[in-house]
Chains A and B, each alone.
Chain A
Amino acid sequence: KNQVEQSPQSLIILEGKNCTLQCNYTVSPFSNLRWYKQDTGRGPVSLTIMTFSENTKSNGRYTATLDADTKQSSLHITASQLSDSASYICVVSRNTGFQKLVFGTGTRLLVSP
């Protein structure tokens, strides 16, 4: 079954601290993996996208890693800011004729002052 599981479900950290969010997937055939940030009541916004051959990709203070062998990805946030408070959604795309995105349920991050 094609699934994306994220952990933890929720996380509270102090402003300035680092954190790492996890994503495990069983999606196949694999095309790419994306991390999205979704502010409350708004649509998701893409942070990174990685294909099978990419191990790491950065976008400012966000760094995503991908291990295609173990089917795991992580999103590391450095020097967190209050504006990082949001849900972070891992999305895996299947390599089929039509784009089929499999969404995780997200990790809700709260950055506390």
Chain B
Amino acid sequence: ETGVTQTPRHLVMGMTNKKSLKCEQHLGHNAMYWYKQSAKKPLELMFVYSLEERVENNSVPSRFSPECPNSSHLFLHLHTLQPEDSALYLCASSRSVNTEAFFGQGTRLTVV
């Protein structure tokens, strides 16, 4: 148990659906991240939040919308996704942006 909890663990959604992924950390960290992991590819950084403010967006399509209401919670809102968006979505947190990241278990997303 890393102290970072993601829900749901698995999600199947249609291309016209709207869903949200949730991440919660109990470590008192100030930075939180969303990563995408596709088969046979390195992890791709999507968003970085530090003290609830977004500090980096690696040119992610607008169909992915992050929200960070406080330093313990991070959401990823999904709408009109494509089949190629199917992947493992990982949330991570760290004490600050420059320190070691702890990962959640991930949400396995399948877009049909």
Contact = CB atoms under 8 A, between A and B. Distances in A.
Interface of A, helix, strand, loop or mixed by DSSP: strand
A41 B88 contact: yes
A76 interface: no
Interface residues of A, number: 21
B108 A43 contact: no
A98 B48 contact: yes
A45 B3 CA distance: 11
Contacts of A103: 42-43
A48 B76 CA distance: 29
A46 interface: yes
Interface in B60-81: none
B105 A99 contact: no
Contacts of B48: 98-99
A6 B92 CA distance: 23
A44, A98, A105 pick with most chain B CB within 10 angstroms: A44
A43 B4 contact: yes
A45 B2 contact: yes
A1 interface: no
A43 B42 CA distance: 13
Contacts of B42: 4, 102-106
B99 to A, nearest CB: 7
Interface of A: 4, 31, 34, 36, 41-46, 49, 89, 98-106
Interface of B: 2, 4, 6, 31, 40-43, 45, 48, 50, 55-56, 88, 90, 92, 94, 97-106, 108
- Those 4 A-B pairs whose CB atoms lie nearest each other, nearest first: A43-B103, A103-B42, A103-B43, A99-B97
